[in-house]
Structure 1
Amino acid sequence: MSKNLGITRRTGLAMALWTGVALTLPMSAQASVSFEGETIEWIIPFSPGGGSDTWARFNAPFLQKYLPGNPTVVVVNEPGGGSTKGANLYAARAKPDGLQLLGTSGSTQFPYLLNDPRVRYDYQDWKVVMASPTGGVVYTTPATGVTAPEEIGKLADQKLTYASQGATSLDLVPLLAFEAMGLDARHVFGFQGRSDGRIAFERGEVNIDYQTSSAYISNVQPLVEAGQAVPLFSWGALDEDGVLVRDPTFPDLPHFGEAYETLTGQPAEGPEFDAYFAFFAAGFPAQKLVVVPSETPDEIVTAYEAAFEAMKADPEYQSAKEAVLGTYEQVTGPQAQTLFERGTTIAPELRDQVVEMLAGEYGVRLGE
């Protein structure tokens, strides 16, 4: 299988987005902000090596290049609690001076959406400065007998083990997906990040895993090339009408709905699919957010938005980004706000359905 399977280039779109946004940014606001001589901490509430860490470390040098005053931008990992530890620390300590950013993911959004008692942060207390949709790929070991995505049916009668950060982390998406598919998957909770799950897979401790697109491209495609992993399906993407379609980064892989039909012989619909879909939508189309405290002055937010847009137009960024992060476009302004709202809200009835399932089937009880 080619290492570059399913990766296509869309640099023209990045340039077009930059041109449109740059014309709207108030130059006076940009000129009034300078971070010269400062060190900016980009807090990532996960362990090194996972998708969020890869995303931040790729973006950080370009952000440093384009922020006014060219400050030093360092990525600081604060793992624990499925990302709630680092987010809680940020909520308690960050000042509205632009010197600390928080990079959240679905694993930060989900505990918030589910009213997890560990959460001491509120997304309403933050402003979004950039949003980054992403995807993910589920894969298994050849030891299961599966050699290609169309053979997913071979998993139907096997015992599977999955390394999870916790039932309210982004790993809720595979939990709901495997549940809907009827797979016999045991979820081992307590891992600190998706990179830890991949390491457990490499050690043979688990036999099914998923990684977000950036981590999959960097760390799992080499395993596929070496015959040590077999991709099963991507989570998919949403088109402009909100319909589930194939992930443009992995167009040769079926999306979850297609894999579901291959495995079960039934269309992907019903209450279990609806629950899966709600958290998929919050966790992947709106997965990664860069936020600052809500009291941060508008001119600082504008400076960050301008820097992120300039970053995206950088020829070096354009040439390298797809091989690391995939085809997804990172956005600012109104588009980012729309994704921010989508990723931090959920219908109460779907929340209740998932909370009841977690309590009844996994013994996970959340505070109201």
Structure 2
Amino acid sequence: MENRVNIARRVMLGLAAGAMALGLAGPATAEVNLSGKTIEWIIPFSAGGGSDTWARFNAPLLSKYLPGNPVVVVVNEPGGGSTKGTNLFAARAKPDGLMLLGTSGSTQFPYLLGDPRVRYEYKDWKIAMAGPTGGVVYTTPSLGLTGPDDIAMLKDKELVYASQGATSLDLVPLLGFRLMGFDVQHVFGFKGRGDGRLSFERGEVNIDYQTSSAYIKNVQPLVEAGQAVPLFSWGVLNEAGEVVRDPTFPDLPSFVEAYQTLTGNVPSGPEYDAYFAFFTAGFPAQKMAFLPKGTPDEIVAAYQKAFEDMKTDPDYLANAEAVLGSYEQVTGALAQALFEKGTTISPELRTQVGTMLGAEYGVKLGED
């Protein structure tokens, strides 16, 4: 386990190289006291998915280490590919430390693509914590596959995928499956990845992916029961910015390896560039916790200190890898660097993906 954690930390340090030079240390937190308060942690997804699992694991520990030990309640506000709950946070959150937002790539992508449903501005917020994650694609044994080596069998199958929407985190599988040449019907409108998994369990869809925390908790038992077949992980980035195997799932090929198994070639070209851009925004910088615009620096620092302190808690040390995988949650300069990476994309790639979504899926995005 130690080796996997160390690998994950080196990956994070590579992604955030130079970030410590930003000098983002926070001020003292002595004046902050949240005793007797209730903090709402808004999760703009349905219960049971990766973001919900992530927040519910962290919430009691955050309560334990924030000044005054306030109650931290996870509030699910799904809808609109996560834009509904995020818009709610942007409109209602006061700068008093009593409302926290948890975002994922599904929240970043509509923002990056100019989705007209977005009424929030990431640059307004102050980041309290960032945590990369991964994800695993799996299918049903009823298609005849027994493991990753059989992935080529999917080339002539009609696949159905339960999607939150073309501008959600499900854009990564949309672009990835398209690059692989799979025939996939993306059924839009699901409120969270947890709902997608339930649809898979009911036999309504035959290919799915879950972020690492949800996969470990909810899909691994299906694999062990012979009801799901893992195919590949999205992978992680190493210090050189290359896709390598996810240390949480070292026995599974990365997306790049799976592509090579299918085609005999290393992925390249404009379509891969688009996939890679959204993979980077969606996974190395996926889970982030924010406080609203105008939150005093001492409150931000109190949250950051609590997130750091809880990582030494015995319960965290005993359970974090089993729940979250081999990914380190970070604050300060490292979190800021991941925040910037996850909310930035070149205009050229934005236009390329937006044009494709409009032409092939009828998705209309906002103007630049």
TM-score by length of 2: 0.94
- Cα distance in 2 for residues equivalent to 1:107 and 1:38: 30
Contact 2:288 2:339 in 1 (8 A): yes
- Cα distance in 2 for residues equivalent to 1:261 and 1:186: 23
Aligned amino acid, residue 59 of structure 2? A
- Cα distance in 2 for residues equivalent to 1:352 and 1:125: 24
- Cα distance in 1 for residues equivalent to 2:220 and 2:318: 19
Aligned amino acid, residue 113 of structure 1? L
Contact 1:51 1:213 in 2 (8 A): yes
Shift of residue 13 of structure 1?
9.1
Contact 1:8 1:327 in 2 (8 A): no
- Cα distance in 2 for residues equivalent to 1:326 and 1:304: 22
User: Structure 1: which 5+ residue stretches go unaligned?
Assistant: 1-5
Q: Which residue of 2 aligns with 1:10?
A: 5
Q: Which residue of 2 aligns with 1:321?
A: 320
Shift of residue 160 of structure 1?
0.2
Matches within 5 A, 1:23-172: 29-172=28-171
Contact 1:11 1:318 in 2 (8 A): no
Contact 2:136 2:234 in 1 (8 A): yes
Q: Which residue of 1 aligns with 2:253?
A: 254
Aligned amino acid, residue 68 of structure 1? P
Q: Which residue of 1 aligns with 2:263?
A: 264
User: Structure 2: which 5+ residue stretches go unaligned?
Assistant: 14-19
Contact 1:9 1:322 in 2 (8 A): no
Shift of residue 30 of structure 1?
1.5
Aligned amino acid, residue 295 of structure 1? G
Change in 2 beyond 3 A, CA 1:312/1:11: farther
Aligned amino acid, residue 10 of structure 1? V
Identity score, percent = 73
Shift of residue 10 of structure 1?
3.2
Cα shift readout 1:140-199 (whole Å, capped 9, x = no counterpart): 000111101011000001100000000000000000000100100000000000000000
Q: Which residue of 2 aligns with 1:362?
A: 361
Q: Which residue of 2 aligns with 1:304?
A: 303
- Cα distance in 2 for residues equivalent to 1:292 and 1:303: 11
Change in 2 beyond 3 A, CA 1:13/1:360: closer
Contact 1:79 1:192 in 2 (8 A): yes
- Cα distance in 2 for residues equivalent to 1:199 and 1:259: 25
Shift of residue 11 of structure 1?
8.5
For the pair 1:215 / 2:214, whether they are aligned, the reply is yes
- Cα distance in 2 for residues equivalent to 1:8 and 1:241: 19
Cα shift readout 1:200-254 (whole Å, capped 9, x = no counterpart): 0000000000000000000000000000000000000011221111101001100
- Cα distance in 2 for residues equivalent to 1:37 and 1:363: 49
Q: Which residue of 2 aligns with 1:228?
A: 227
Shift of residue 45 of structure 1?
0.3
Q: Which residue of 1 aligns with 2:17?
A: none
For the pair 1:332 / 2:338, whether they are aligned, the reply is no
Contact 1:7 1:248 in 2 (8 A): no
Aligned amino acid, residue 225 of structure 1? E
Contact 1:25 1:306 in 2 (8 A): no
Q: Which residue of 1 aligns with 2:277?
A: 278
Contact 2:25 2:332 in 1 (8 A): no
Contact 2:231 2:252 in 1 (8 A): yes
Aligned amino acid, residue 115 of structure 2? D
Matches within 5 A, 1:176-215: 176-215=175-214
Cα shift readout 1:5-46 (whole Å, capped 9, x = no counterpart): x997639999xx9xx9xxx966x7211111001000100000
Cα shift readout 1:126-153 (whole Å, capped 9, x = no counterpart): 1111001000000000011110101100
Q: Which residue of 1 aligns with 2:16?
A: none
Shift of residue 263 of structure 1?
1.1
SS of the equivalent of 2:311 reads helix
Cα shift readout 1:282-307 (whole Å, capped 9, x = no counterpart): 00000011001131110001000000
Q: Give RMSD over aligned pairs.
A: 1.8
Aligned amino acid, residue 31 of structure 2? S
- Cα distance in 2 for residues equivalent to 1:351 and 1:110: 10
- Cα distance in 2 for residues equivalent to 1:51 and 1:169: 14
